[in-house]
Structure 1
């Protein structure tokens, strides 16, 4: 597996692959801002909305590829922050396709995003995830500090109930 960044032009050519990962994640219960039923055109539209941020440099997108070159994972650094917060970024859309999970890709994607944040001189990363999700133990293992849990923050992907959200941060040395 290899990890690389995609600029806006490359992301645009890979919209279908990116949409497939997001679609797969939501269908498998990931709480990543979308509800089931979730169509591929909705997933594709999400990634199209990210292109301006990739173009202007306020976001960086990393992808993991399998041996065949297929995109099987993503993570973004969102740096579109207010003027008094230019030292930090939000970690967004850590997604690993269901057929590629349990291989350490999430960890490698996060480590790549952290290395890029350090390279850019950022000193703080923040993120949120559904409390009790499969991603939560990964964030703990990577040294993120749980800031708190907000009950009833968002609907679960299946829309059945409001779920709590865990907010994390990590200072970068």
Structure 2
């Protein structure tokens, strides 16, 4: 498995495969913010629209590829607010249903966290639908549960479910301030 970082120039090459991966995730019941019936064109354009954010450096993105093609992806949204330069938001971790439980998600998380540290982001925060395999996955990666929000996530079947907020400290803020000074 090869983990590849994408940029605004390389993203369009993979939009078709990324769209197919998104549709696979929706169809397999993953709560990824899209509804059943999302068209292939809409799924592909959801990724194509990320070019501007990638170009500006507001978003980082990786894919996992092997001889069968694209097997997974993850994004990292960098917070650029002056009071939040120490944090980032992992987004849209997708692994094709036939490739799950093979360590691909862990490899993508590892690449994303390494980049977060390189961008001086010491706090990662995300939300996932409660009572799903995603919760166990993030706990296994060292993320801690902060709490639950009722009726926060609309699943692909159109029903609202609670979301659980998870976070992970990659390094302490004091360390962050020291890294900036050096």
TM-score (norm 1): 0.94
CA distance, structure 1, for counterparts of residue 38 and residue 5 of structure 2: 26
Report how many aligned residue pairs link the two structures.
171
CA distance, structure 2, for counterparts of residue 131 and residue 119 of structure 1: 31
- Structure 1 residue 80, shift from structure 2 partner: 4.0
After TM superposition, list the pairs within 5 Å mapping 1:3-152 onto structure 2.
3-68=3-68, 70-152=69-151
Which position in structure 2 is the counterpart of 1:155?
154
Which position in structure 2 is the counterpart of 1:166?
164
Native 8 Å contact 2:149 2:162 kept in 1: yes
Native 8 Å contact 1:64 1:73 kept in 2: yes
Native 8 Å contact 1:27 1:38 kept in 2: no
CA RMSD in angstroms comes to 1.1
What per-residue deviation string (whole Å, max 9, x for no partner) do you get for residues 60-86 of structure 1?
001100134x11100000014422111
| Unaligned segments of structure 1, at least 5 residues | none
Native 8 Å contact 2:79 2:87 kept in 1: no
- Structure 1 residue 54, shift from structure 2 partner: 0.6
Q: Please say which of residues 75-84 and 162-171 is displaced more in the overlay.
A: 75-84
TM-score (norm 2): 0.90
- Structure 1 residue 102, shift from structure 2 partner: 1.2
Name which one, 1 or 2, has greater alpha-carbon Rg: 2
Which aligned segments of 4 or more residues in structure 1 are displaced greater than 4 angstroms? none
- Structure 1 residue 25, shift from structure 2 partner: 0.4
CA distance, structure 1, for counterparts of residue 164 and residue 80 of structure 2: 20
SS in 2 for 1:135: helix
